[in-house]
């Protein structure tokens, strides 16, 4: 096995999101729940609870009710679902004056005795030849210019305008304005010594209406061609992801996006168009970024306003996963049939985990459930069996989790050239307090169907798995470099591949 690690140095902050979906159960930490707190007043224990708030309502046309009008007027009607957008402050591509200045390093968040620097953990480590040390961005997070040069609206353009959908009410309208500042960003990436940049392409820039029978936007193709060429000219390898969660809004309006099997042909058409356009220039391709998170996300507010007929909030994550995996397999099949240069995979997230109590058979079994639902759902089909993990099919009926046909299993197995994962952290896993068996058999249990809980601290002394992020970040994002080797071994043991790409943050 060859392990390749990419270092991430984000160019932009992530929006702070409030969402609830598959794989986002309760995480137990040291802090008490913010909604219900116990306090003592004059010896009397009282419970203070926040008043109930009305659930916000998202405004979206019923899927299937929106007419397919591929004219400029039809595109404006789609943008009408989003509403007004903020234009970029300027609309010309800025050419940097070299050498470009680079920012200074930020001050450390924690003292070195608590959060040692990588150079102090592995002082004799030498990076191997071919090691990619780079930066990662996503189109929606950095590009801005959301309506410029023929781009269509995405579900994230719409989502950021729904009440309570984004914690700070920010949008992707301007953000870093990288659509016009990409040359400065690439030059800066090269100046700080990075040799790679993982970027995503916005599907709605290439196909404003998303659909296979809709017109392609040449301005979008030309833009990304220049982006890729400038990377190569600057000595920065472009690593391209086809989909980082920004589904064209039109496809949700037409049929419910990834909750509908109709998405497969439209995605493959988009993928083939991009493959052909940049063949020979891109050496590493990803079809999907963190599909588990994406499919969990669209099951919750506000995306739950746009399900395909027959799909609900409980079944949406699994229908999404089924359709997404079929789209991945079909895109890779086309990639290989066209003899596109390079290698291709999808990018997982999460971790296998460690039993919270090493002597608990329930916790040991809970780790396997965590691994199956969080990583195995997308890795067993590609690397192991061509099918869902048995834990999932034993738990979920076909009405929740559609079953693959034998032909689909054949297409899925081997449809990735390497294993890739965003290795954010590793934590402990424990079974529900009332026992694993009771949870598995009870579909009304709050932890069903996964029936496990990630824990941020050990069971013996209460030590955290690693330093927590700053207060404005999500609590799950602990820094746990000390468990990286163990995590990689667990991944390779379960889904053996010749190359494992570990993207570090």
What are the domain boundaries of the chain? 2-26+59-504
Report the SS3 class of residue 28: strand
168-184 CB burial, b ≥16 within 10 A, e <16: eeebbbbbbbbbbbbbb
- What is the maximum span of the chain, computed from C-alpha positions, in angstroms? 76
Summarize the confidence of residues 7-27 as an average pLDDT.
33
| Strands, E assignment, 349-496 | 354-355, 419-423, 428-430, 453-455
Q: What are 45-64's pLDDT values in tens digits? A: 233 344 556 778 899 999 99
Burial of 398: CB neighbours in 10 Å, binned 0-12, 13-18, 19+: exposed
Summarize the confidence of residues 487-492 as an average pLDDT.
96
Q: Residue 314: which pLDDT band, with cuts at 50, 70 and 90?
A: very high
Is the predicted pLDDT of residue 215 greater than 70, yes or no? yes
Q: What residues have CB less than 8 Å from 337, skipping those under 6 apart?
A: none
pLDDT at 121: 82
pLDDT at 23: 44
Tokens of 402: 């559609």
pLDDT at 505: 60
Q: How far is CA 470 from the centre of its chain?
A: 21
SS3 content of the chain, % helix, strand, coil (to 5): 35, 15, 50
CA distances to 67, 101, 269, 323, 499 from 347, in Å: 34, 32, 20, 16, 13
Q: What are 218-264's pLDDT values in tens digits? A: 999 999 999 999 999 999 999 999 999 999 999 999 999 999 999 99
Report the helix count and the strand count for the chain, using DSSP H and E. 17, 13
What are the φ and ψ backbone dihedral angles of 101, each rounded to 5 degrees? Answer: -70, 150
Burial of 337: CB neighbours in 10 Å, binned 0-12, 13-18, 19+: exposed
Q: Angle of helix 316-337 relative to helix 263-278, nearest 10 degrees?
A: 40
pLDDT at 38: 27
Q: Residue 275: which pLDDT band, with cuts at 50, 70 and 90?
A: very high
Is the predicted pLDDT of residue 203 greater than 50, yes or no? yes
Is the predicted pLDDT of residue 295 greater than 80, yes or no? yes
Distance CA 325, CA 296 (A): 14
**Least confident residue range of 64-73, 189-198, 469-478:** 469-478
Instruction: Give the DSSP H/E element, type plus range, for residue 3.
Output: strand 2-7
pLDDT at 229: 98
What is the rounded radius of gyration, in angstroms, for the C-alpha atoms of the chain? 23
**Cα dihedral: 386, 392, 396, 402 (round 10):** -20
pLDDT at 114: 86
Q: Is 375:421 a contact under the CB 8 Å cutoff?
A: yes
Summarize the confidence of residues 469-494 as an average pLDDT.
86
Q: What are 386-441's pLDDT values in tens digits? A: 999 999 999 999 999 999 999 999 999 999 999 999 999 999 999 999 999 999 99
Is the predicted pLDDT of residue 273 greater than 60, yes or no? yes
Gap between the terminal Cα atoms of the chain? 22
Is the predicted pLDDT of residue 14 greater than 50, yes or no? no
| Strands, E assignment, 21-157 | 36-41, 44-49, 134-136
Tokens of 107: 């001050």
DSSP 248: B
Report the SS3 class of residue 422: strand
What are the φ and ψ backbone dihedral angles of 99, each rounded to 5 degrees? Answer: -75, 140
Summarize the confidence of residues 143-161 as an average pLDDT.
98
Summarize the confidence of residues 125-136 as an average pLDDT.
88
Burial of 491: CB neighbours in 10 Å, binned 0-12, 13-18, 19+: buried
What strands, in cross-sheet order, belong to the sheet with 453-455? 354-355, 428-430, 453-455
Q: Residue 6: which pLDDT band, with cuts at 50, 70 and 90?
A: very low
Report CA torsion sign: 68, 72, 76, 79.
Answer: positive
Q: How far is CA 46 from the centre of its chain?
A: 41
Tokens of 336: 């290989």
CA distances to 77, 208, 209, 266, 381 from 69, in Å: 9, 11, 9, 16, 37
Is the predicted pLDDT of residue 36 greater than 60, yes or no? no
Q: Is 148:88 a contact under the CB 8 Å cutoff?
A: yes
pLDDT at 474: 67
Q: What are 56-100's pLDDT values in tens digits? A: 889 999 999 999 999 999 999 999 999 999 999 999 999 999 999
Q: What are 438-467's pLDDT values in tens digits? A: 999 999 999 999 999 999 999 999 999 998
Distance CA 375, CA 355 (A): 17
What strands, in cross-sheet order, belong to the sheet with 237-243? 2-7, 499-504, 419-423, 343-348, 284-289, 237-243, 196-200, 134-136
CA distances to 16, 25, 143, 160, 232 from 166, in Å: 6, 19, 18, 6, 35
Count the residues in the chain.
505
- Cα atoms in the 13 Å half-sphere on the side-chain side of 501: 25
- Residue % of the chain over a pLDDT of 70: 89
Q: How far is CA 452 from the centre of its chain?
A: 21
Q: What are 326-368's pLDDT values in tens digits? A: 999 999 999 999 999 999 999 999 999 999 999 999 999 999 9
Q: Which CATH number does 2-26+59-504 carry?
A: 3.20.20.80
């Amino acid at each position: 096995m060859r392990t390749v690690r990419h270092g991430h140095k984000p160019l932009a902050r992530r929006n702070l999101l409030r969402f609830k979906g598959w794989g986002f159960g309760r995480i137990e930490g040291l802090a008490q729940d913010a909604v219900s707190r116990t306090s003592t007043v004059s010896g009397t224990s009282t419970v203070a609870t926040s008043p109930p708030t009305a659930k916000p309502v998202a405004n979206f046309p019923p899927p299937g009710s929106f007419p397919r009008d591929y004219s400029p007027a039809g595109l404006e009607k789609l943008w009408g679902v989003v509403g007004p957008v903020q234009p970029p402050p300027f609309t010309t591509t800025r050419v940097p004056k070299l050498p470009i200045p680079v920012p200074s390093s930020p001050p450390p968040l924690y003292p070195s005795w608590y959060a040692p620097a990588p150079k102090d953990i592995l002082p004799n480590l030498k990076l191997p030849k071919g090691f990619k040390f780079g930066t990662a961005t996503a189109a929606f997070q950095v590009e801005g210019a959301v309506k410029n040069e023929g781009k269509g609206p995405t579900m994230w353009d719409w989502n950021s305008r729904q009440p309570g959908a984004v914690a700070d009410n920010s949008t992707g309208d301007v953000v870093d304005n990288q659509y016009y500042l990409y040359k400065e960003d690439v030059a800066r990436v090269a100046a700080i010594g990075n040799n790679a940049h993982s970027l995503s392409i916005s599907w709605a820039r290439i196909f404003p209406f998303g659909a296979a029978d809709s017109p392609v936007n040449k301005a979008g193709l030309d833009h990304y061609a220049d982006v890729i060429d400038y990377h190569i000219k600057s000595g920065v390898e472009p690593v391209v992801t086809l989909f980082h969660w920004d589904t064209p809004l039109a496809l949700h309006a037409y049929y419910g996006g990834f909750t509908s099997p109709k998405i497969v042909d439209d995605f493959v058409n988009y993928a083939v168009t991009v493959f052909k356009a940049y063949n020979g220039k891109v050496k590493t391709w990803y079809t999907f970024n963190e599909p588990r998170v994406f499919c969990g996300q669209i099951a919750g507010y506000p995306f739950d306003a746009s399900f395909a007929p027959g799909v609900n909030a409980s079944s949406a994550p699994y229908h999404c996963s089924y359709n997404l995996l079929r789209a991945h397999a079909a895109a890779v099949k086309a990639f290989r049939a066209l003899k596109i240069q390079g290698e291709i995979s999808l990018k997982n997230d999460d971790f296998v985990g460690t039993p919270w109590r090493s002597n608990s058979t329930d916790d040991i079994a809970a780790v396997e459930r965590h691994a199956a639902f969080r990583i195995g759902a997308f890795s067993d089909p590609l690397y192991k069996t061509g099918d869902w993990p048995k834990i999932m099919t034993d738990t979920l009926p076909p009405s929740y989790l559609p079953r693959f046909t034998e032909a689909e299993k054949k297409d899925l197995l081997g449809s990735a050239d390497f294993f890739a994962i965003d290795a954010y952290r590793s934590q402990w896993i424990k079974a529900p307090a009332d026992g694993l068996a009771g949870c598995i058999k009870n579909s009304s249990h709050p932890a069903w169907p996964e029936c496990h809980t990630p824990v941020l601290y050990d069971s013996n002394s209460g030590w955290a798995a690693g330093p927590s992020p700053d207060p404005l970040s999500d609590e799950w994002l602990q820094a746990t470099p000390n468990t990286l080797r163990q995590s990689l071994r667990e991944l390779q043991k379960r889904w053996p591949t010749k190359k494992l790409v570990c993207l570090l943050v």
